[in-house]
A and B are shown apart, each in its own frame.
Chain A
Amino acid sequence: MDFNDTPAEAAFRAEARGWLAAHAPAHELTPGLKIPDTEEADRSRAWMRELFDGGWSGLTFPKALGGRGLTGIEAVIFSEEESRYHLPKGPFTSIGTGMALPVIAKHGNDAQRAQFIEPTLKGDLTWCQLFSEPSAGSDLANLRTKAVRAEDGSGDWIVNGQKVWSSWAHLTDWGILVVRTDPAVPKHKGLTFFVVDMKTPGIETRPIRQISGMSEFNETFLTDVRIPDANRIGAIGEGWACCMTVLMGERLGSGAHRSGVEPLIAMAARTPAHDGSTMLDDRAVRLALADALAEEQGERFFQARLRTMVSKGENPGALAGMIKLAYAGRQQKALGLGMELRGLDAIAADPADSATADLQYDYIYSTVMRIAGGADEVLRNQIAERVLGMPGEVRMDKDIPFEQLK
């Protein structure tokens, strides 16, 4: 075991650090300052472009496909260094790099790779994910949006249905889409995967008001949307395998929204208690903060173990879900504690107190981490089944053609 950088890794870190110092500050967002989502999108694109021009996009992507062909460890080093800056990153660009590109690279053809990979890495093309539906979330394969061949013999597909919770669908250029092409077979088998230009006639996005007060996700209605067969990714009926590729990327990448325990410790130290002491002197607060910090460290070193596996060519599989399950719960608990130690001020603070504003927002957002990208209960099932080898869930819909399901 060696926790220090190897000489090669140290050199890579120094190079990344040097480049970031020269280029990242100009792109930083002001902490606590809310900007319109169109501006956030533009600034995300600009940062993608900067990364691309500097040779820092698609780090783990094969060179032949326009990436740098580096190892997972180098990608970790870069993201560690990058996370020292408050940069415009998030689903707006990560759906493209973390979901669309892996699926296109793995299941797409050469023409599709040529068309989509480089523009996406450059930030010229942004993506949304059109998977979830009102009756298909954790049970994604239950989706109903359907595609049939056009009757004009063009080979095009005509899509009808409704997607929901489509993050940034109102501002992105293209979508990754999974639909049902064969209702006569069991649900997982009748799915096909597409990419779709969001400007295609028949696509309508309606923003949904979220509990955070923002509207980053949408309902997306698809009415007679015509998609050329050239935009089909993988074979007809292979949609589920494509979805698995996407969801794996989602799990490995989802550490990005982590908010740490250290700022809460600093906040406790700044919050007065009785008799000139601070909240960091409070026994109950200390125990709870220490528990949260110890768990956070455990997540960090567990992540390091998984990244080491990846760099040795092993597949962490369901182990990745363990980290997500751990941090989603820990984060919500720690942020809740953060509000408590701040006292009543946590509810309505001085407008200049951006740390409390962030805390409020993060506490609201911590709910998302427990639902999206594999909900807690779904992850527990996966861990029990795939890591511990316990029996699968009872399924009432197994082997039954989709059209016969109630």
Chain B
Amino acid sequence: MDFDLSDEQKMLADQARGLLAERTPYDRLRKLIDSGAEWDEQLWRELGEMGFLGANIPQEFGGLGMAELDLGVIAQELGRANAAVPFFSSIVLAADAIRLAGSAAQKAEWLPRLASGEVIACFASAEGPGPLLGQGTQLTDGKLSGAKHPVADAGIAALAVVQVGDGLALVKLDQPGVTRTRLDSFDQLRAHYRIDFADALAEPMPGAGVLATLLDRAAVQAAFEAVGGSEACLAMGRDYTMGRTMFGRPLAGYQAIKHKLADVAVAIELAKSNAYFAGWAAECSADDLPGAAASARLTAIKAFEMAARENLQVHGGIGYTFEANCHFYYRRERMLAVIVGGRGYWADRLLNAQPGAQGQTHSTGKAA
């Protein structure tokens, strides 16, 4: 057993972290929000040039052919920086969906362009309040009708991977049958849209029964992203309290603060450990993936929840200002909390992966 990132993975993380620290400081995030931008296009182009976007896409489709864990390492750094890029939509969900369910021609057509970042795809599944996988869209004879909302990054995407029932279809967004309406987004660094389909041309993907695996794999990446965000919150909270004097000594010296942040630190290490295992399982042990992804998902959300909330809390009033940096994570955390299905789905996924632990009424694992 060697349960640690490889030296190459550590280098990859350093490289990504260095680039992001330079290119996307918090002031830049503030500017993006103020200007109503949908994304940080310049950063996205650079990530593409560095090869980060195609990290886990096979070489034959223009990627680097690296492992899930390598992508996880990058996701963690994107989470730490809170970067305003459609990585989760285009790479983690859409490209992976095409990889899992697409025909040879669909893969050849889209994966190279997604890997380079030249084309962006969004992932459309929800249909308003309720489950992640909506059931109201219809696909008949290559024509899609219905509405998906909210859909992240749809405004900058040329392609949508649309979940229809238990299957997936590809829809080009620049066509008469598609209407995109921008919604107010709680996460101010991710534009969200409503997409209406009126007999839009859609190409079904042939792969069946891949949704659960797609979500497992996405949950692993979401966990890495959450771990990165949590670590940023912990460091920010620590630094702030170290620098603030209270009743004649540093705020960081008070046990209420020390103990709170120690608990956050523990939660992060548990989540990170689960994410490592799940990243490994996604590549090397398909049987372990559902349970491992669920564990990573549950612990990472817990860690990020604590970290984002307590970071703002230890800042006091300044934490409630746009000028402080707590809010980026406070908002992003809620997005990650709902991005691949709720805790009930993942609790079932985890328990159902235990031998002999299938409940009688909740064992289908449907309705993420």
Contacts and interface: CB of A to CB of B under 8 A. Distances in A.
Given A1-B2, A385-B258, A266 B263 contact: no
A295 interface: yes
B13 interface: no
Given A277-B360, A281-B361, A302 B253 contact: no
Contacts of B280: 1-3
Interface of A is mostly: helix
Interface string B297-335: 111001000000000000000000000000000000000
A302 B1 contact: no
A283 B345 CA distance: 11
Given A265-B351, A281-B359, A383 B265 contact: yes
A286 B263 CA distance: 24
Contacts of B6: 1
A333 B234 CA distance: 25
Interface of B is mostly: helix
B343 interface: yes
A394 interface: yes
In this complex, the member of A6, A301, A302, A322 whose beta carbon has the largest number of chain B beta carbons within 10 angstroms is A301
Contacts of B273: 298-302, 304-305
Contacts, number: 186
A5 interface: yes
B3 A277 contact: no
A305 B4 contact: yes
Contacts of A390: 238, 241-242, 252-253, 257-258, 261
Given A293-B351, A305-B273, A280 B2 contact: no
Contacts of A302: 269-270, 272-273
Interface string A365-406: 000000000000101110111011111111000000000000
A299 B360 CA distance: 29
A380 B262 contact: yes
A175 B344 CA distance: 51
Contacts of A319: 269
In this complex, the member of B261, B297, B359 whose beta carbon has the largest number of chain A beta carbons within 10 angstroms is B359
Contacts of B261: 384, 388, 390
A287 B296 CA distance: 15
B295 A293 contact: yes
A294 B354 CA distance: 12
Interface string B1-29: 11111100100000000000000000000
Interface residues of B, number: 61
Contacts of A384: 252, 258-259, 261-262
A309 B187 CA distance: 38
B366 interface: no
A377 to B, nearest CB: 7
B46 to A, nearest CB: 28
B262 A301 contact: no
Interface residues of A, number: 58
A139 to B, nearest CB: 15
B356 to A, nearest CB: 7
A299 B270 contact: yes
Interface string B265-296: 11001111110110111001100000110111
A294 B343 contact: no
A293 B350 contact: yes
Interface string A272-297: 00001110110100110111011101
Given A1-B6, A290-B347, A298-B299, A280 B1 contact: no
A308 B1 contact: yes
Contact of B69 (A1, A266, A293, A301): A1
Given A269-B357, A281-B359, A287 B347 contact: yes
Contacts of A308: 1-4
B294 A294 contact: yes
Given A1-B69, A308-B3, A393-B255, 10 more contacts: A1-B3, A265-B357, A281-B359, A294-B295, A298-B274, A304-B3, A308-B4, A309-B4, A391-B250, A392-B253
12 contacts: A3-B280, A3-B281, A266-B356, A280-B351, A280-B357, A290-B347, A293-B354, A302-B270, A302-B273, A383-B266, A388-B261, A388-B262
Interface of B: 1-6, 9, 69, 234, 238, 241-242, 249-250, 252-253, 255, 257-259, 261-263, 265-266, 269-274, 276-277, 279-281, 284-285, 291-292, 294-299, 302, 343-344, 346-348, 350-351, 354, 356-357, 359-362
